[in-house]
Structures are given as structure tokens and as C-alpha cells.
A and B are shown apart, each in its own frame.
Chain A
């Protein structure tokens, strides 16, 4: 009996998530402290490339998840107890969870890096000018685009390639405009509009 409770506690999703996040934060701290001297004066490597790679993983994962929810498991879920609305909001919830976790990790990264690098710039400025806010919005945007592509029954290989191209194009475009706040706001507006479009499609698409 006690063993079962302990086993269930240790297998709990949120506990495992917290443990993983603690490990990531410890690894980030080690990387920041050890790599500071390597990065010093290095024009190629940005000090935030490590955290951007976390966002990149989230973008890739979000794209695959969004696409699979609509292309592969939409009919399956409707066969059981999940309604169309449930599928949409569950997808959105999971993508927002990933975005939130990535944001918390990147905030911690910025805080730790600012402490060790003795940087006094406000974190929100770092977020905008170093492209972190844009990466955050890209996680949401690419996941929702993946969700949309699943409904139009796009071939999975073509979908993933297109998603990478779309993501890369947006990143380069916004980076070209020096990661301005206006560009980020436009991307945020696109996320909201795309979220609305996906919701309408979920309600209207006919299952065959």
C-alpha cells in the first residue's frame, strides 16, 4: 500500500517536471559560469545562444505535437470521450505549458547570467533585444501552424519542412528589424488570429 503511494508520487507528472527543471537550471548555471570566459570577446557566439536552443527544441516539439494532434489523433480522440473543443483547448494548454516552462527557464537564465556577468540591463529589455520574446511567440505560432497543417491533411514531411522554413523566415525577418517591440507585437497578434482560425477549423472540419 505504502509502496504504491510512493510509486505514484514518484511517477507524478508535475514532480518529474519540477525535477527536470531543477536539473536544467543547475546545468545552465554551470554552463554560464564555465563558458563566461570562453564567450568573452567572442563576436560569433551570443551569450543567449544556449537559452535559444531550449526555445528551438520547444518549437520543434510544438510543431510535431500540433501537427499530430490534428492529423493523426483527432479522429481517435473523438471516438472516445474527447470533444472537438476539448482537443483544441488541451492542445493549446500543452503548448502554453511548454511556452511557460521555456519562459521560466529563460528568465532564470537571464537572472543567473546577469548576476555572474554583472549586467544591470532590465530583464525585459534583454528579452526583447536578444530575441527571446520573439522565440517565445514563435513556439506558440509554429505549434498553431502545425495544428492547422494537420487539418489540411498536408503530408508530414512537407509540413515539417514548411514549418522550419516559416519559423526560420520569421526569425530572420524580426532579427533584421533588430527585434523591435512592434515586430514582436505583430507576431503576437498573428498568434492570436491563428489561434482563432484553428478554433474555427476544429469546430467546422468534417471527419470522414
Chain B
């Protein structure tokens, strides 16, 4: 069943048509974080969508039925400066009518060793890693079925990033998950599909078995995603045989890679 329907949304001079279904985990990836953030603000119902995005047939903009079932967090931002679970519970209950599982929150603080991720200065603050972990613990402890998260593995080491990626893609807990990813490798085989935001402003829906092209930058490229090392560019691979032959003819080095190898090829040469 459709959770959100996007019909003819004019986004960056592109018409976007998309159906996000229940029990789907969707990844979003691209270098243009401003465009992605703009898109997420529309999908989360925070900004206007010119009557193109719907939940149960109703426009999602400022829709209280839609809002009560979703949260939109950017793990780079600070949402709490305290680990006082009773204080947090009271705030979520009183301000937002959300139930907060203090027991689960306490377990996660211990398991993820969040108390070690603090800096003691004039104020008690979390490190960037600590802030990501706290935000994740908040999301996990809230009783919300639909989540939109930006930068879920921001500054995390691989062990904790894997833990978080497993938790956030748990379909037994969440109905619909939309993740703006910093890194794809932690989410291998955990996503239903990916939305790639290209530098040209296109949004491409790709499956897990689609491929990318790591290639020396040139004028014949389209659907560029991110810069690689040196003059390499990683782009979505929808090039036909003739186009690839042209690259061979012009002695432009390239390599076809899997979607989830993108992070590795950001830092290596061909």
C-alpha cells in the first residue's frame, strides 16, 4: 500500500513521480546536500509541495495526520544536550504527545557507550560521534513508525555504524524509512532502492543491482554523482555500448563498480 505518493512534483526543473510504499527502506545519496535537504523538507510535509505529495489522498503539507506518524531528524544537528531520560520523556510527552521508552534509551546509552563521547568544557557537550549516537537513541526510543533521517552514520566508526544501519532498517519496528546517507557501504542489501541525486539536478531511482561508473572527467559524461580522487568522477552507469566504446577510443579510463562500492572508489585511483 502506498505511504506517500508524489505526482508531478517540479523539483529543480525535473518532474518527479514516485510512490513510497509501506514497509520500504529507501536510501538517498548525492553530493548536492542542499537539493536533498530541500527534497526531504517537502517529503516530510514541512515545506510546500504545490499539491503534489499525498498521504492517504491528503496533501502532506502541514498535515497533522501525517505529522503524528513521522519524524524528520538530521543526525548532524543537536536535539538534546542531556541524557536525563525522565526529562526527555516528559518533554516528548508534553510537547509532542510522543511516548518515549526510557528503558530502551538507557540500554542504548550503555550499549553504544555514549557517556564516553562527551567533551567537558564550560558546558557538557557530546562529540560529533556522540551526538549521532544520542540522536539515534532518541529515534529508537520513540514510538514512531515512519522516520526520515539525514546523515544516520555521521562520524561513526564501522562497528557502531553497522549497528545503527541494522536498527534503522528494521522493518519489524519501522513502517517506512527514508535515509539521506553519508555512506552507502553500511547499508548494503538493506535498502529496497536508492534515489540518486546527480550533479545535473536529476533524481534517479536505482535498484541494488544497478552499477556506477568511475571514470576520468570528460565532456561526454552525464548523471555525475560525486567527485572521486584526482580527476575521477563517479557517475550512474546508464551508458550504452557505443558510449563505452567512445571512451575506449578516446583512451578515457573507466571502471564499472557496484553501487555499494562507491565509498571505496572515492578515495582510490583506477
Q: Which residues of A contact B (CB under 8 A)?
A: 76-86, 203, 206-208
Contacts of B67 in A (CB 8 A): 81-83
CA distance A95 to B217 in the complex (A): 59
- Pairwise interchain contact B79-A76, C-beta atoms closer than 8 A: yes
Give the number of residue pairs across the A-B interface with Cβ within 8 Å.
Answer: 41
Contacts of A207 in B (CB 8 A): 41, 46-47
- Pairwise interchain contact A78-B64, C-beta atoms closer than 8 A: no
Query: Known contacts being A79-B72, A207-B47, is A84 close to B96, with CB within 8 Å?
Result: no
Give chain A nearest CB distance to B119 CB in angstroms. Answer: 22
- Pairwise interchain contact A79-B47, C-beta atoms closer than 8 A: no
Q: Size class of B's contact patch?
A: 20 to 34
- Pairwise interchain contact A77-B95, C-beta atoms closer than 8 A: yes
- Pairwise interchain contact A81-B47, C-beta atoms closer than 8 A: no
- Pairwise interchain contact B68-A81, C-beta atoms closer than 8 A: yes
Give chain B nearest CB distance to A3 CB in angstroms. Answer: 15
- Pairwise interchain contact B47-A86, C-beta atoms closer than 8 A: no
Contacts of B96 in A (CB 8 A): 77, 80-82
- Pairwise interchain contact B62-A83, C-beta atoms closer than 8 A: yes
CA distance A207 to B48 in the complex (A): 10
Interface centre among B37, B46, B71, B98 (most CB of A within 10 A): B46
Task: Return 20 A-B CB contacts under 8 Å, by A number.
Answer: A77-B96, A78-B46, A79-B71, A80-B71, A80-B92, A80-B95, A80-B98, A81-B68, A81-B71, A81-B98, A82-B95, A83-B62, A83-B63, A83-B64, A83-B67, A84-B62, A85-B64, A207-B41, A207-B46, A208-B41
* B73 at interface, CB cutoff 8 A: yes
* B57 at interface, CB cutoff 8 A: no
| B181-223 interface code vs A (CB 8 A; 1 in, 0 out) | 0000000000000000000000000000000000000000000
| B68-93 interface code vs A (CB 8 A; 1 in, 0 out) | 10011100000100000000000010
Closest chain B residue, CB of each to CB of A80: B96
- Report B100-142 residues with CB < 8 Å from chain A CB: none
Closest chain B residue, CB of each to CB of A205: B47
Closest chain B residue, CB of each to CB of A206: B47
Q: Which residues of B contact A (CB under 8 A)?
A: 37, 41, 44, 46-48, 62-64, 67-68, 71-73, 79, 92, 95-98
CA distance A81 to B98 in the complex (A): 8
Contacts of B63 in A (CB 8 A): 83
- Extra pairs beyond A78-B46, A80-B98, A206-B48 (19, CB < 8 Å): A76-B79, A78-B72, A79-B44, A79-B73, A80-B71, A80-B92, A81-B71, A81-B96, A81-B97, A82-B95, A83-B63, A83-B64, A83-B67, A85-B62, A203-B62, A206-B47, A207-B46, A207-B47, A208-B41
Contacts of A86 in B (CB 8 A): 64
CA distance A203 to B67 in the complex (A): 15
Closest chain A residue, CB of each to CB of B73: A79
CA distance A81 to B44 in the complex (A): 11
CA distance A55 to B79 in the complex (A): 33
CA distance A83 to B67 in the complex (A): 7
CA distance A203 to B61 in the complex (A): 10
CA distance A207 to B61 in the complex (A): 12
CA distance A76 to B80 in the complex (A): 11
Contacts of A77 in B (CB 8 A): 95-96
Closest chain B residue, CB of each to CB of A84: B62
Contacts of A85 in B (CB 8 A): 62, 64
Give chain B nearest CB distance to A17 CB in angstroms. Answer: 14
Give chain B nearest CB distance to A86 CB in angstroms. Answer: 7
Give chain A nearest CB distance to B51 CB in angstroms. Answer: 15
Closest chain B residue, CB of each to CB of A78: B46
Contacts of B73 in A (CB 8 A): 79
Contacts of A206 in B (CB 8 A): 47-48
Interface centre among B37, B41, B62, B92 (most CB of A within 10 A): B62
Give chain B nearest CB distance to A158 CB in angstroms. Answer: 24
Contacts of A203 in B (CB 8 A): 62
Give chain B nearest CB distance to A20 CB in angstroms. Answer: 18
Contacts of B72 in A (CB 8 A): 78-79
Closest chain A residue, CB of each to CB of B97: A81
Contacts of A82 in B (CB 8 A): 67, 95-96
CA distance A77 to B95 in the complex (A): 9
CA distance A17 to B95 in the complex (A): 18
Contacts of B68 in A (CB 8 A): 81
